[in-house]
Amino acid sequence: MRLGETGAASVDCEAELTPKPGLVDRRGAGAHTDLSLSIMQSSAFTIEPYFRDMAFISEEAHPSQALREELADLGRDAERAMLKATNGSNSHKGAIWILGSADFRCYRACRGRSRQFSRIAATAKETASFVDRAAPRLVSHGDVAAKRYGVAGARGEARRGSPMSLT
């Protein structure tokens, strides 16, 4: 499915975007001692089938508890594959999470229309509002950073409809 390829290509393009001071780009690893451009590219290739599966199950679905949990299971599988491909480095956890909650139902209709981002964000918000009852109860780096800086973090942003992305 082209959506899986598009998701993987987008995370690969983000890695190659240069310059990104402090982040992995074509110039180097930035502040990431555990990542490189080749590791990021390997990770993107590894998680492509998971993006495809996420798109397939959500393309005709409406946000629901069952969909949220099915996407979360696929996301955890994608994370495990990513960590194996990168020897334990978190290269694309955020991308897996946000693309997994995106509105694939409107992807084709919205393509090329930036004003439709609010519709995609609204569906991500609705999907994220359902609790992932199977989520491991671990404190992530994102949780620590969100608390430290008083921000919502990825989950909180999605639950609020991604207002930071709309500005």
What does the pLDDT look like over 51-94, one tens digit per residue?
999 888 887 788 889 988 999 999 999 999 999 999 999 999 88
pLDDT at 139: 77
The span from the CA of 155 to the CA of 160, in Å, is 9
Share of the chain above pLDDT 70, in %: 82
Average pLDDT for the chain: 81
Check: CB of residue 82 under 8 Å from CB of residue 91: yes
Whether residue 143 is predicted with pLDDT greater than 70 in this model: the reply is: yes
The tokens of 164 are what? Answer: 């930071």
**What burial letters (b/e) apply to 30-66, b meaning 16+ CB within 10 Å?**
eebeebbbebbbbbbebbbbbbbbbbebbeeeebeee
The span from the CA of 164 to the CA of 103, in Å, is 18
pTM listed for this prediction: 0.78
Whether residue 109 is predicted with pLDDT greater than 70 in this model: the reply is: no
Domain residue ranges in the chain: 2-162
The span from the CA of 59 to the CA of 71, in Å, is 12
Share of the chain above pLDDT 90, in %: 29
Whether residue 166 is predicted with pLDDT greater than 50 in this model: the reply is: no
CA 55 centroid distance within chain: 12
